[in-house]
């Protein structure tokens, strides 16, 4: 049984390495990997993957196609959520606003407003 577990562990590691190698230049794969990390509670790793999506796509948004806009907007949204889990509210607000600018939706608008409220509450607490 121990041998089976060892092979299983090595297989998982190999699969992870293949996934990382395969997504080296593919923003969508980094987004998916970030989602997996976020789901597993590996917030720092998720943040790294979501930031990599932004790095890989052209900084000039006029050069993005529709799918790339969607990927980038989602990455900023997930990055904002990740930052809230770390308590990094100013970073979260910036990313939520970026997400809203790229692909406005009720969800992104609500996230921006919730983060703003949280920041205001924290300001009131620290001034008291």
Q: Where are the domains of the chain?
A: 2-127
13 pLDDT more than 80: no
Architecture of the structural domain at 2-127: Alpha Horseshoe (1.25)
pLDDT in tens, 81-128: 999 999 999 999 999 999 999 889 999 999 999 999 999 998 888 876
Please state the pTM of the whole predicted model.
Answer: 0.78
Whole-angstrom Cα distance, residue 101 to residue 113?
14
44 pLDDT more than 60: yes
Residue 13, CA distances (Å) to 96, 100, 112 in order? 33, 36, 37
């Amino acid at each position: 049984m121990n041998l089976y577990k060892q092979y299983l562990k090595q297989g998982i590691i190999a699969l992870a390495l293949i996934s990382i190698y395969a997504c080296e230049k593919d923003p969508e794969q980094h987004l998916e990997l970030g989602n997996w990390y976020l789901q597993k509670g590996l917030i720092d790793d998720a943040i790294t993957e979501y930031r990599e999506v932004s790095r890989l796509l052209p900084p000039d948004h006029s050069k993005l196609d529709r799918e790339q806009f969607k990927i980038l907007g989602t990455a900023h949204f997930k990055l904002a959520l990740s930052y809230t889990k770390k308590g990094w509210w100013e970073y979260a607000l910036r990313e939520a606003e970026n997400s809203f600018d790229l692909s406005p939706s009720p969800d992104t608008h609500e996230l921006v407003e919730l983060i703003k409220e949280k920041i205001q509450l924290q300001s009131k607490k620290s001034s008291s």
